[in-house]
Amino acid sequence: MGRGRVELKRIENKINSASMHKTLERYQKCSYGAVEVSKPAKELEQSSFREYQKLKARYEALQQTQRYLLGEELGPLNSKELEQLEHQLESSLKNVRSTKTQYMLDQLSDLQNKEQMLMEANRALSIKLNEISARNQFQASWEGGEQSVTYSNQQTQSQGLFQPLECNPTLQIGYDPVASNHIAAATTHAQQVNGFIPGWTL
């Protein structure tokens, strides 16, 4: 009995393969990264010194330009450099004047807006004051009219209720037949008005 064909296959271990890739990456980083990190300290020091020299030269140039603009140390300058400095000063002066003019215009606009707001507020207050004054005037005239009407009504009622009495200022002692007749007539009239008839008249 014969055997069949035998095939050999390679078994790949995925876990071991991934670990190998990571190991290679770490090796490359350590190998080539160490070269970059191990730069000579002298080269770094030289580059820093060159950067310092550039910044120092720039600072000195700015200081010299500032002195020129202030009118100091102008002796070493020739006519062309002085002319350039003059143009630069004129340009700077124009910018300063333009900025100042714009600032003044902005302030003027703000003041005009404030003036308009104050005028509107003043107009509103004037209208309100006129309304209050007219209301007070009307109320005062109305109250005065009521008082005059009340006083005239009271005076009319008083005149209707009270009648003047006729009296003789001379004191007389004794019997006066004329006065007795007047008193009797007044009493009779009052009782008739009240709806009563005296008993002695029956």
Q: Where are the domains of the chain?
A: 80-139
**Over residues 31-53, mean pLDDT:** 72
Task: Check whether 22 has a pLDDT greater than 50.
Answer: yes
> 150-199: per-residue pLDDT in tens?
555 555 554 544 455 555 555 555 555 555 555 555 555 545 544 545 55
What sign does the dihedral 115-116-122-123 (CA atoms) show?
A: positive
DSSP 200: G
**Over residues 32-44, mean pLDDT:** 62
pLDDT on residue 112: 95
In SS3 terms, 112-174 reads as HHHHHHHHHHHHHHHHHHHHHHHHHHHHHHHHHHHHHHHHHHHHHHHHHHCCCCCCCCCCCCC
Name, in order, each residue with C-beta under 8 angstroms of 106's C-beta and a sequence gap of 6 or more.
none
pLDDT on residue 161: 47
Question: Can you tell me the distance from the alpha carbon of 86 to that of 77, in angstroms, rounded to the nearest whole number?
Answer: 12
0.85 surpassed by pTM = no
Q: In the chain, what is the straight-line distance between the N-terminal and C-terminal CA atoms, in Å? A: 181
